[in-house]
Amino acid sequence: MTAFEYILGIPVAAALALALVPSYRVAAWLNAFASAATLGAALSPFVERPATGVFFLIDDFNIYLIALTAFVAFTTSLFSLRYILHEVAIGRLPKRYVRFYHSMYQGFVFTMLLALSTNNLGVMWVAVEGATLTTVLMVGLYRTPEAIEASWKYFILCGVGIALALFGTILMYLAAEPVMGEGLKAMTWSELLPRVSAFSPAILNLAFVFLLVGYGTKVGLAPLHAWLPDAHAEGPTPISAVLSGLLLNVALYAVLRFKMLLAGNPGALAPGPLMIGMGLTSLFLASFMLYRRRDIKRLFAYSSIEHMGISTFAFGMGGPLANFAGLLHMTMHSLTKSAIFFAVGHASQVKGTQKIAEIRGLTASQPALGWALVIGVVAIAGMPPFGVFMSEFLVVTSTFARAPLLAAPLVLGLLVGFAALMLRLQGLAFGKAEGTGKASGAALVPLYLHLAAVLVAGIYLPGPLVAWFQNVARLLG
C-alpha cells in the first residue's frame, strides 16, 4: 500500500469502527489515536514521495496542505477529547450522539484529505460535497432551535454553492473534451495542466466564474459568507476549529487549482481581479462586522472571513511574493484560529456561556487559559512577533510594490479589524472576573503547541520551509 492509501484508509476505517464503539470514553480516545495515525501517514510523503498516478496528484502544494490538515485534525481531536467529556457530563450532549459525532469527525477528515489528494476534478467535487454533508450534521448536533437554523442555513447556502461548482466542473470538462478526448483523462488535473493552452478560453472563463462562486461560498468569501458565522457559533467548538482551520483552506485550495488551470491559457481571463475584489470585500465586511458581535464564537468566525479574504486577495495579486504571503497566511491563520477556538471552547465551558459580555477577567480566574487566549487574539490581530504579522506584512508590502492604490483599502481593512479585536480582548481577558472560578481541567497542550508554532514562524522561518513555500508559490503562478 502506498502512503496515500494509508492517509485515506485510516480515517475511513476509524469512521466505521467509531460507529460501532458503544462507550463514548473509548471512542474519544480512539478518535485521537486514529488522528495521530493519520498524521503519521500524512508526514510520510516528505520522506519518500510517491509519484503522481491516475488517482492521486502529488506536488509540493498538496502534500504540505495534507500534512497541515492532518496535524490540525490531530490536535483538535485531543482538544475534543476533554471538550466532549465535559459536554456529556453537564448533559448538553446526550451520550448516544457522541458515537455519531466521532464517526462523522473521522468522515469529515477523510473527505478533506480526499479533496486535497485526488487527481480528479469530479472526485474533488464529491469530496467537498461530502465535507459539507458531514459538517451540516455536526453543526446541528446540539438540536437547539439555533443549531437547527444554523445547519439549515449552512445546507441551503453551501448546497447551492457546491451545485454551482458542479456546473463549473461540467463546463471545465466541456472545455477539455475536444482537446483531450472523452473519458477520465479530461477530468484529471495532471493531464489537463500541460494541455490547457489549447482549450477554448470562453468556456474556461465561464467555468471559472461558476467555480469561484461555488467553492468561494465554502471559503466564506463575501457576499456568500452568510452561513459561516452561524455554523461556527452553534456547533460544538471542535467543529468550529476544524471548519475555520481546515475546511476553508480546502475550499480555497480548490479555487487555486482552477486558477492554475486558467493561468495556463493565454486567452482566458485573468482570475486575479475577481479574487482581489472578493477578498477585499470580505476583509472590509468582516472587519466592520467584528464590532457588533456579542457571541464570542461568532466574533472569531467573522475574523475567519477576514483572514480568508486576505489570503484570497494575496493569491489574486499573484506572483512569487504575494503567493508566498498567501500560503504563509493560510497556514498561520489555520494554526492560530484553531488555537483560539480551543481556548474559546474551554472558556465558554468554564463560564457556561458564549456571550462576550458574560465572559470577563479570564486572566484573573483562569490564568493559564486566559493568557493563552490573549496571546492567540494578539497573534490573530496581526501584532508582531507572531506569524500572522509576518504574512500580513508580506501581503501589504508586495501590494505596495505593485499596486499602491490597492494597498490603501487593504491596510485600512486590516486596521479596522485589528482595533475591533483589541477592543473585545480588553473585556474578555482583563477586568473583574465574573462567574465561577473553578479549574477548567482543560487540555492546554494542543493550544500551546499551535501558539508556539505561530510564534516561532513569526521570529524565524526555517530555510527548508521558505524554499518549500517559494516552490509552491512558483507553481501557483
CB of 44 to other proteins, least distance (A): 28
CB of 64 to other proteins, least distance (A): 27
Only one residue has cell 448538553, namely 92
453 near other proteins, rule: CB under 8 A: no
CB of 181 to other proteins, least distance (A): 8
User: In the complex with other proteins, which residue's Cβ is closer, 25 or 294?
Assistant: 294
Residue 317 grid coordinates = 495579486
User: In the complex with other proteins, which residue's Cβ is closer, 203 or 276?
Assistant: 203
Provide the H-helix boundaries in 21-59.
24-47
CB of 134 to other proteins, least distance (A): 9
| 3 state SS of 2 | coil
User: Which member of 259, 297, 298, 450 binds other proteins (CB under 8 A)?
Assistant: 298
- Nearest CA to 386 out of 467, 332, 425 is that of 332
CB of 125 to other proteins, least distance (A): 7
User: Which member of 38, 62, 119, 132 binds other proteins (CB under 8 A)?
Assistant: 132
205 near other proteins, rule: CB under 8 A: yes
Range 154-173, binding other proteins (CB under 8 A): 155-156, 159-160, 163-164, 166-167, 170-171, 173
User: In the complex with other proteins, which residue's Cβ is closer, 145 or 194?
Assistant: 145
User: Which member of 24, 64, 71, 125 binds other proteins (CB under 8 A)?
Assistant: 125
CA distance 75 to 453: 13
End-to-end Cα spacing for the chain: 33
Alpha-carbon distances, residue 46 vs 63, 65, 231, 335, 469 (angstroms):
8, 12, 34, 20, 14
User: Which member of 14, 57, 129, 375 binds other proteins (CB under 8 A)?
Assistant: 129
| 3 state SS of 295 | strand
Who's near 422: CB < 8 A, 6+ residues apart? 381
152 near other proteins, rule: CB under 8 A: yes
174 near other proteins, rule: CB under 8 A: yes
Residue 294 grid coordinates = 456579542
136 near other proteins, rule: CB under 8 A: yes
Buried b (16+ CB within 10 A) or exposed e, 267-301: ebbebbebbbebbbbbbbbbbebbeebebbbbbbb
122 near other proteins, rule: CB under 8 A: yes
Stretch that binds other proteins, among 137-145, 335-343, 360-368, 376-384 (CB under 8 A): 137-145
Q: Report, in angstroms and rounded to the nearest whole number, the Rg of the chain calculated over CA atoms.
A: 21
Sign of CA dihedral 386, 388, 393, 394: positive
Provide the H-helix boundaries in 235-318.
237-242, 248-263, 272-289, 296-317
CB of 135 to other proteins, least distance (A): 12
Residues in contact with other proteins, shown as a per-residue x/- string from 235 to 274 under the rule CB under 8 A: ----------------------------------------
At residue 244, what are phi and psi to the nearest 5 degrees?
Answer: -70, -45
- The site for other proteins (CB under 8 A) is made up of 120, 122-123, 125-126, 129-130, 132-133, 136-137, 140, 143-146, 148-149, 151-153, 155-156, 159-160, 163-164, 166-167, 170-171, 173-174, 177-178, 182-184, 186-187, 200, 202-203, 205-206, 293-295, 298
